[in-house]
Amino acid sequence: MNAPATRKIFPRLDESLLTHLPPFSKLEARQIRTILDQASAKRIEPGIAVFEEGAPADRFYMLLDGYVRVMRITETGEQVTALHVPAGQLIGIATALGKDTYPATAIAASEVLALSWPARLWTSFVADYDGFATETYKTVGDRLGEMQSRIVEMATQQVEQRVANALLRLINQTGRKVADGIEIDFPITRQDLSELTATTLHTVSRLLSGWEKQGLVHSKRKRITVRDAHALVVLSQG
């Protein structure tokens, strides 16, 4: 399902929303004010698409809160999770990649608060604001690096290593401390984890059940908590 039409939901967003985020961290308050005055904001419920693969890339987005699951469609029509993007990052930056359509689908993995701007503003933002381009392309590079690492893992590692690496990556990106360990801070199913690691739902379920009995993880109601990160590191190294 698509997200509702972009609209302004706050009368005046505060500059402090952006000052700590990499694309805007080198800008003065007046510059950030100019950027915010051109933005629209919206809340997106879990499971709703921010944008869809192949649709015209008419806007780009900044996640202020929540997490987005980036998905690709295979030739056989299956949806495959490519990566997860946490708050504080730009998404939908097809223009930066020289594309006029979105190369993937972004689904809200939790409730999301996002700012967005018309794609036509991208060129002027890059030209006018110091650090906007360099920080943005660094983010793109990091994402490509993550996907390349996953490709190498799928080609060279056993399933147990791949699943352990995926969990470690997720708690590093989105983990929050809880009483019994580090919880992945958005709902994630075993099916999601199987897509991330190019394995079957049965295999992921078997591994998580085994690790749960050993006290390494705890999973319940789309929530996964890593209780023994060091043990997972050992498993990830084979």
- What distances in angstroms separate CA 215 from CA 159, 193, 208, 218, 227, one per listed residue? 19, 19, 10, 7, 7
Q: Structure pTM?
A: 0.74
The mean pLDDT of 113-125, rounded to a whole number, is: 93
Q: What is the pLDDT of residue 12?
A: 67
- pLDDT for res 140: 74
CA distance 152 to 205: 23
| Residue for token pair 């999973």 | 219
Domains and CATH numbers, the chain: 15-152 (2.60.120.10), 157-236 (1.10.10.10)
Q: From its phi and psi, is residue 52 left (phi > 0), alpha (psi between -120 and 50) or beta?
A: beta
At 185, the pLDDT band (50, 70, 90 cuts) reads confident
Task: With residue 193 as reference, give the H or E element that holds it.
Answer: helix 190-196
Give the pLDDT band of residue 224 (cuts 50, 70, 90). Answer: very high
Q: Please tell me the predicted confidence (pLDDT) of residue 4.
A: 45
Q: How many CA atoms lie within 13 A of 52 on its CB side?
A: 9
Scanning the structure block, which residue is given the tokens 């409730």? 111
The least confident of 48-57, 113-122, 136-145, 212-221 is 136-145
In the chain the beta strands, taken as DSSP E runs, fall at: 40-44, 49-51, 59-65, 68-73, 79-85, 90-91, 105-108, 112-118, 175-178, 181-184, 217-220, 223-226
| Phi, psi dihedral angles at 230 (to 5 degrees) | -60, -40
DSSP SS3 for 98:
coil
Nearest to 143 by CA among 193, 98, 89: 89
What is the pLDDT averaged over residues 64-79?
A: 82
Supply the mean pLDDT for the chain. 85
CA-atom Rg of the chain in angstroms = 19
Pairing of strands 112-118, 79-85: unpaired
Residue 139: CB partners within 8 Å, gap ≥ 6? 22, 23, 89, 90
